[in-house]
Structures are given as C-alpha cells and as structure tokens.
C-alpha cells in the first residue's frame, strides 16, 4: 500500500508544509495529556549546572531540584562525567513560606550556600511556588551579593512560565550578565556556545571532543565552551574572542544572536556537522572569519582522505535508497534533520517520520534555519504519535512504522534499535559510546560503520525478548 493510501497517516508533505500548519495552529495536539517534555526550570538548571563551581539554588520545595539532583548524584556525576559531587541546594519551601513569603529564607540560604560550598557563582532559580507567591528573587540576589563572596544572579524559571526552550534561552541570556568588557581581543580565539554539559543529564562529550580536536588542528583556540564545564572566569572573558560558534545550533542560536547584537561579536551560523558538507561548512564558517581558511582546507583535505573508504561506502550503499528517519526514536530532532541532509548528500531520499508538532513549535527558530539552508525533507506523521500514554503511543507507532516501511522500495531505517521495521536498522542511539561521536569526520566513520553492520547483518534474527518488552507480544 502506498503511504498516501494508509488511514493511519495524519500528515504527509514537506517539512516546510508542516511548519506552516503548526504556525497556523492546525497540528497542535488535541490531547493535553500526551507528550510532556521538560519544563522551563529543568533546562535552566541544566545550563547553569554546566558552569564549574556554581550553586544552582532552587527557591522552591524539595521536589523540583530532586529530579535533577538524582541524576547529578548518581548516573551522571562522578561516575560518568568525572566531576565532583556538586550541591543541588534548595530553600525547601513549605506551607508557611507559601503563605508568608520566602524571601527572608532565600537570603539566608544564599549566605549559607556561599559559606558551605565556596562557589564562584550562585544562581537563584525560582520555580512554580516562588513565582506564584511573587517572591522577588532578583532583589534578593542583589541584596545577597553584599554579604557573600560569590556573584549572585537570579533566574525566573517557573515551570509554568514557558516551554523547555525558554528555560535554556533565559539561562544563556543571564550568563551574558557575567561577561565583562574586553581588555583585549584574543586572536583566533572563539567561544563554543549552546552546550549544557555539567554533572546533570545532558549531552555526551564525544561530539564536542571531535569538533574541539578539529579546531585545534586548524589553529583555533577556545576560550570557553558555554556552558559545557566552563568557569566563571572564562565567561567573564567571553567578550575577548573574535567569534562565537555553536556546538548545537538549536541551543546556541539565541546566545549567538544576543552576543552579536549586544557586544558585536560575530556568530558563525551553521548547522550541526553531520556528514561531509555540513562538517566542511561548520569548520570553514569558523576558519574563514579568523583568516585560517588555508589551514582549515588542509585539515578537511587530510581528514577527508583518511575517511575516503567510509565516504565511498556511504555513497555506494545509500545511492537510490529511501532513508526512513524516525525522529521520536532519534537522539534529538535537530540531529535527525541534520542526518536527513547527510543522507540526501549520499544519494538517498530522506523521509522523516513522526516529528511531533510540539517539537516543531518549540524548536521553530532552528527548524526555520534548517529550511533556509535547504533541509526540507518529506515528512510523515502517524496517528500513534498522538495517542495517550507512552506504551500505547510507542506500540502503535511501531505498528505504523512497520507498515510504512514496507511501502517503500529499498528502505533503510535510521533511528535506534528499539524499532523492528523489517529493513536494515542504523542504530544511532547515543547510548552506545562505541560508535560516538556522530559529528565531524570521526562521526562519518562511525555512521558508516553503523550502516555497514546494519546492511551486512540484516538477515540475522531480531530480539523477540526486547521487542516483547517494548511493545508486548503482538504488534503487527
């Protein structure tokens, strides 16, 4: 059955057409209870905790910080990221504070945090409680600074106050307040912006390592990765650079634009370095304004030569194929769209499945940028995406995916191994560090390796155990 003849498809068109529908409000999901991404507070917290020796001081009850701190303290902190146990402090607001206000308690908490943890920076994060009762966190921050050694800033990050995008955008904007007027301009030095790599559950560092390595080979120095384990001192000196470049366009774009508008620091606008062309663009976008074009061309030439067999394999294998890219099973929608571009560059026809309208709405600036750069793949949304409940949704989308895949000739699925579409599965999960990074030249090598193992092993049986775990014992 052709995709358009299926009754489980609710949208079939281009990314551009989907964006237009979302802008007109046509695709906004009716089910309020489905699809709940992180709130503004979470993403604010993630960005702030990417600064070293910072106390993110949550002005709220114990529940808000504890979701993130459970991760900070266990999986992510000292075990995975090599960072020390960091505080996830809060004012632990109770009923009395909600009635009478918690500003006095907050002031005391700032003093205690300074005395206990000796931080360079304390960021007060308001949450729903303190936001609704009207505690003036900015004034408390200003007042508290008189009593403590650390800088004290306040961020209005109430969970109801915006979507997850507004959280990190506001956090990056706040960080700008720490940036001091430049004493000098450091030649061939940049900031990498848009990262969130603290002790909390955010990005894995392999992609950052790859682009950092490439920049060093070109002769570019990095002042700070904001906020990927940078120090307050590095942020203070962030205006001494010649250029800003994004580690992740989606998260970096607002800070890049704001620093350009406020401080006049140019910003290299490029997508994520997935595949050869995007990697070239990313690297040249930095090298050109710094006068390092020749060095960058040399690095690109040498690296391209080194991975030539991988590039040839990708081209040979993907030519004429349909690359089915399922966004909900991919490590991030922008990454999935970046991969769609890479697949097209290798001769495949990309078809993107199940990019949630919420995702389009929340990431509109980044998606519009990708459209401007020519990324406009075919998009299919299925009914299952809008089902209530994660199990029902994933079981139905699995069934729909299997049906859709069977309607294409020579399909290859790009997503992760939690899908069973009956065609080769390129397992692009970030949870298998053996095949990271995905960025840059090493990324091309890894994606080629993942494609090779998908193609060469496609006849091997899939796990009925894991399939049953995910979708129950009958899906088709």
Partner 1 sequence: MRTMPTDACLDPYVRCALSGAAQTALGVSDSAVLAHAPQGCNYLVDGAFSWQDCDYAQTTTLCTKLCEDEIVHGGEELLARTILEAKELDISALFVLSACGPEIVGDDIVAVCEDMQPKVDFKIIPIECAGFRGSQYDGIDLALDAMLRTLAETRPTIPNSVCLVAPHANANPTWMADLAWVKDVLSRLGVQVVATLTHATPLSDLADVAAAEGVLQLSHDAGYRAVAYLADTFGVEPLCAELPLPIGMTNARRWLTSLGERFDAEPIAENMIADGERMVTETCRRRWPMARFFYRTPAAIVADATIGIPLVRFATEEMELTPALVALRSANLDAERLLERELNELGLAPQVVCGTDVYTTRRSLEAVRPRVVFGSTIERHASEGLDVPYIFEVVRPVRQFRLLNREYFGYRGILNLLECIQNEWSDRWRSTQRRYAARW
Q: Which residues bind partner 1 (CB under 8 A)?
A: 31-33, 36-42, 57, 60-67, 69-70, 73-74, 77-79, 84-85, 87-95, 97-98, 105-106, 108-110, 112-113, 116, 127-129, 132-133, 158-162, 388-392, 472
The dihedral through the CA atoms of 258, 240, 44, 81 has a sign that is positive
Q: Six-digit token pair at 251?
A: 């998260």
Residue whose C-alpha is closest to residue 330's, from 415, 421, 203, 451:
415
Is the CB of 91 or the CB of 354 nearer to partner 1?
91
Q: Cβ of residue 230: shortest distance to partner 1, in angstroms?
A: 22
Q: Cβ of residue 88: shortest distance to partner 1, in angstroms?
A: 6
Is the CB of 68 or the CB of 235 nearer to partner 1?
68
Cβ atoms 223, 240 nearer than 8 A? yes
DSSP run (H or E) holding 65: helix 63-71
What residues does 413 pair with on adjacent strands? Answer: 324, 425
Helix (H, G, I), strand (E, B) or coil at 263: helix
Q: Cβ of residue 175: shortest distance to partner 1, in angstroms?
A: 21
Q: Cβ of residue 361: shortest distance to partner 1, in angstroms?
A: 12
Q: Cβ of residue 163: shortest distance to partner 1, in angstroms?
A: 8
CA distance 363 to 382: 20
Is the CB of 102 or the CB of 275 nearer to partner 1?
102
Cβ atoms 218, 283 nearer than 8 A? yes
Is the CB of 274 or the CB of 420 nearer to partner 1?
420
The count of C-alpha atoms lying within 13 angstroms of the C-alpha of 222, restricted to the half-sphere facing its C-beta, is 23
Is the CB of 126 or the CB of 338 nearer to partner 1?
126
Cβ atoms 154, 124 nearer than 8 A? yes
Q: Cβ of residue 404: shortest distance to partner 1, in angstroms?
A: 23
Q: Cβ of residue 115: shortest distance to partner 1, in angstroms?
A: 9
DSSP for 429-447, written as a single string = -TT-GGG---SHHHHHHHH
Q: Cβ of residue 206: shortest distance to partner 1, in angstroms?
A: 22
CA distance 112 to 122: 11
Q: Cβ of residue 124: shortest distance to partner 1, in angstroms?
A: 11
Q: Cβ of residue 149: shortest distance to partner 1, in angstroms?
A: 15
Sheet bearing 121-126, strands edge to edge: 54-59, 121-126, 151-156
Whether the ω angle into residue 90 lies within 30 degrees of 0, i.e. cis, is no
CA distance 333 to 196: 17
Cβ atoms 416, 328 nearer than 8 A? no
Is the CB of 68 or the CB of 353 nearer to partner 1?
68
3-state secondary structure 300-334: HHHHHHHCHHHHHHHHHHHCCCEEEEEHHHCCCHH
Is the CB of 34 or the CB of 407 nearer to partner 1?
34
Is the CB of 133 or the CB of 222 nearer to partner 1?
133
Q: Is 396 exposed, middle or buried (0-12, 13-18, 19+ CB in 10 A)?
A: buried
Is the CB of 133 or the CB of 176 nearer to partner 1?
133
Is the CB of 198 or the CB of 252 nearer to partner 1?
198
Cβ atoms 64, 88 nearer than 8 A? no
Q: Six-digit token pair at 394?
A: 């994933």
Residues in the chain: 476
Is the CB of 36 or the CB of 460 nearer to partner 1?
36
Is the CB of 79 or the CB of 372 nearer to partner 1?
79
Residue whose C-alpha is closest to residue 121's, from 209, 198, 217:
198
Q: Cβ of residue 6: shortest distance to partner 1, in angstroms?
A: 22
Q: Where are the beta strands (DSSP E) in 62-164?
A: 121-126, 151-156
Q: Cβ of residue 192: shortest distance to partner 1, in angstroms?
A: 28
The count of C-alpha atoms lying within 13 angstroms of the C-alpha of 419, restricted to the half-sphere facing its C-beta, is 34
């Amino acid at each position: 059955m052709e995709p358009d003849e299926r009754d489980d498809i609710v949208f079939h068109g281009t990314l551009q057409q989907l964006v237009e529908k979302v802008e007109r409000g046509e695709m906004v999901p009716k089910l309020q209870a489905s699809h709940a991404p992180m709130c503004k507070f979470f993403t604010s917290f993630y960005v702030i905790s990417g600064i070293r020796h910072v106390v993110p001081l949550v002005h709220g009850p114990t529940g808000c910080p504890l979701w993130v701190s459970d991760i900070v303290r266990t999986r992510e902190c000292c075990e995975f990221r090599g960072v020390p146990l960091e505080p996830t402090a809060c004012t632990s607001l109770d009923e009395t504070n909600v009635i009478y206000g918690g500003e006095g308690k907050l002031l005391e908490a700032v003093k205690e945090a300074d005395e206990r943890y000796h931080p360079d920076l304390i960021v007060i994060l308001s949450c729903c409680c303190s936001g609704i009762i009207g505690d003036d966190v900015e004034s408390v921050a200003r007042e508290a600074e008189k009593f403590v050694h650390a800088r004290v800033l306040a961020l209005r990050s109430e969970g109801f106050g915006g979507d997850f995008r507004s959280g990190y955008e506001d956090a990056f904007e706040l960080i700008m307040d720490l940036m001091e007027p430049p004493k000098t301009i450091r030649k061939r030095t940049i900031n990498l912006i848009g990262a969130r790599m603290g002790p909390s559950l955010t990005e894995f560092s392999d992609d950052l390592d790859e682009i950092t390595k490439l920049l060093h080979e070109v002769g570019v120095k990095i002042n700070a990765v904001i906020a990927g384990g940078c120090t307050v001192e590095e942020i203070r000196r962030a205006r001494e650079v010649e250029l800003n470049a994004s580690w992740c366009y989606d998260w970096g774009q607002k800070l890049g634009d704001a620093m350009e508008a406020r401080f006049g620091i140019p910003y290299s606008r490029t997508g994520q370095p997935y595949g050869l062309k995007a990697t070239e663009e990313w690297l040249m976008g930095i090298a050109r304004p710094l006068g390092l074009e020749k060095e960058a061309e040399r690095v690109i030439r040498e690296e391209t030569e080194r991975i030539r067999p991988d590039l040839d394999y990708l081209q040979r294998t993907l030519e004429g194929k349909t690359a089915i890219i399922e966004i909900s099973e991919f490590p991030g929608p922008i990454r999935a769209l970046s991969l769609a571009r890479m697949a097209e560059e290798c001769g495949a026809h990309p078809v993107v499945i199940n990019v949630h309208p919420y995702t389009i709405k929340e990431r509109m600036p980044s998606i519009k940028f990708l459209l401007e750069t020519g990324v406009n793949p075919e998009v299919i949304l299925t009914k299952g995406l809008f089902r209530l409940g994660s199990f029902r949704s994933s079981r139905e989308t699995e069934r729909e995916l299997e049906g859709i895949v069977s309607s294409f000739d020579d399909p290859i699925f790009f997503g992760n191994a939690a899908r069973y579409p009956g065609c080769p599965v390129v397992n692009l999960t970030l949870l298998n560090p053996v095949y990271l990074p995905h960025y840059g030249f090493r990324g091309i090598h890894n994606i080629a390796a993942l494609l090779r193992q998908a193609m060469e092993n496609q006849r091997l049986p899939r796990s009925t155990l894991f399939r049953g775990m995910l979708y129950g014992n009958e899906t088709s």
